[in-house]
Amino acid sequence: MQAQPEASHYIDGAPAEDTAGERIEVIHPANGEVIAVVHAATPALIDRALDAASRAQADWAALRPVERGRILARAAALIRERNHELSVLETLDTGKPIQETLVADAASGADALEYFAGFAPTVAGQTIPQGRDFAYTLREPHGVCAGIGAWNYPMQIACWKAAPALAFGNAMVFKPSDLTPLSALKLAGILTEAGLPAGLFNVLQGAGTVGAALATDARVAKLSLTGSVPTGQKVYAAAAQGIRAVTMELGGKSPLIVFDDADLEDAVSGAILGNFYSAGQVCSNGTRVFVQRPLRDAFLARLAERTRAIRLGDPLDPETQMGPLASAAQMEKVLRHIEAARAEGARLVTGGARHGTTGCFVEPTIFADVTDDMEIAREEVFGPVMAVLDFDSEDEVLARANATPYGLSAGVFTRDLTRAHRMAAGLQAGTCWINAYNLTPLEMPFGGVKMSGVGRENGHAALEHYTRIKSVYVGMGPVDAPY
Ligand code: NDP
């Protein structure tokens, strides 16, 4: 299995290489095989990418939005044509099963490009009458944006950042996670093929140091990070030095609340989707599953039955439902959390161990009798580990659900219409799902509150984060001066 790219980076419209940069082996986590080798960007390459982006941006911004949109729509069509090839690459890089990558990764990226291609021509300013004078506003791009991605949805994250940035007239330098460097390079090639002028979308490989170099460079006007809270704190602080605009899509410990009047099968489906999709490596996962006591035993029984039937295996096999974690380090971290949960007295319902001896597989794991103070209920695990907690009343569960520094997402399963909306109003989260979980259509803004982030991706809200407003006051004369 080889997935070696032509070169490590993509700068100024073409693949670029400098083997002086640190060697990064790209490993397929299902079997430990090295599928590619790339090199981290050297300071000279970082400089080239930022220069290329700065040079290209003004002409791009001067195009009619419909012309920019046409190029992005063409790129979306190319992604859809090549969805299978791109999905195989994403599966090799991340270990996620092909049945997921075929529908959730490049396809979501294409959605983003299509959505923002259509949105760009609709953007307009405001006219503000001032008697004989008037003012108007212009929506301007920031200039050069830096995007820094996590490893769980590499192609989707690259597209969710690049599509609005480019649609509204910015240039982007994107750094994928060093664990999953491959699909962003494909995106860059496709954008060029679709007609994107050179320099507008650049990809630089490397670990946190390359991200940090982007976060502190004076040429970067806006930073968008998808990653953990500790990284978010560093990147936000670096951005503050230059008073740069930021979007921070960070981690969570989201509550999924199941009332005793919920449809049991739907609630179990929501909990499984919200904990085991992508082997649990989803930022918005509902990893604290609160179940109202009268439903608890029936819920756990059905949940365990369906969880035990999940098929783990070769992620390239279309029948496989759960692949490995993205890296050995992540597998070790998840196994440590499982041990901590056991040690603290949580009751293991199913799973709880590594699966097999090859690759980074962890069994889908459910703990019951979890209490709010346990590590498993407080820390983001980012693996297939669900914590089930009991509750009695609506007020109690709302207070407990909100008692976390995170605020990315939340879910409620109930047939009571008014309670569902009361809960949605009270939950401290950027996204709330009612009788659903983890659906993130492009049309809906996505982001966090509290320590889960600032800013929103997708939907109309993205306009606020990839443009800035200029006010223009027009004096129609004469100028009224008191001196
Ligand atoms: P990390 O925070 O470890 O890394 C995110 C990115 O930031 C990587 O590209 C990383 O580089 C880079 N980075 C690390 N240090 C710095 C630094 N000092 N300056 C600039 N960039 C830096 O997250 P993971 O990749 O481990 O992803 C998992 C996390 O992402 C989870 O917490 C998850 O919840 C969150 N996430 C949030 C989402 C959201 O939309 N809210 C969606 C998906 C994930 P490298 O790793 O290559 O060293």
What is the CA angle 135-243-46, rounded to 5?
115
> What pLDDT score was predicted for residue 224?
98
Q: How far apart are the first and last CA of the chain?
A: 79
Q: Which residues of 362-401 are buried (b: 16+ CB within 10 A; e: fewer)?
A: bbbbbbbbbeeebbbbeebbbbbbbbbbebeebeebbebb
Which residues share a beta bridge with 476? none
Most ligand 1 atoms within 8 A of CB, residue of 180, 224, 226, 408 to mutate:
226
Nearest CA, atom 12, ligand 1: 208
* Backbone phi and psi for residue 457, each to the nearest 5 degrees, phi listed first: -100, 160
Distance CA 417, CA 434 (A): 9
Question: Whole-structure pTM over 0.95, yes or no?
Answer: yes
> What pLDDT score was predicted for residue 25?
98
Nearest CA, atom 48, ligand 1: 207
Give the tokens for residue 333.
Answer: 């971290």
DSSP, residue by residue, 414-467: -S-HHHHHHHHHHS-SSEEEES--S---TTS-B--SGGGEES-BSTTHHHHHHE
Ligand 1 atom with minimal separation from the 251 CA: 34
> What pLDDT score was predicted for residue 286?
98
Pocket of ligand 1 (CB under 6 A): 148-152, 175, 177-178, 207-208, 211-212, 215, 226-228, 231, 234-235, 249-252, 283, 380, 382, 408, 448, 453
pLDDT 10s digits, 351-406:
999 999 999 999 999 999 999 999 999 999 999 999 999 999 999 999 999 999 99
> What pLDDT score was predicted for residue 235?
98
**Is 457 an active-site residue?**
yes
**Is 161 an active-site residue?**
yes
Question: Is the omega angle on the peptide bond into residue 478 within 30 degrees of 0, that is, cis?
Answer: yes
Distance CA 109, CA 163 (A): 8
> What pLDDT score was predicted for residue 479?
93
Q: Coil, strand, or helix at residue 357?
A: coil
Q: Which residues of 134-145 are buried (b: 16+ CB within 10 A; e: fewer)?
A: eeeeebebbbbb
Distance CA 42, CA 19 (A): 9
Ligand 1 atom with minimal separation from the 234 CA: 18
> What pLDDT score was predicted for residue 1?
76
Q: Residue 58 CB: number of other CB atoms within 10 A?
A: 12
Residues of the chain with pLDDT under 50: none
> What pLDDT score was predicted for residue 12?
98
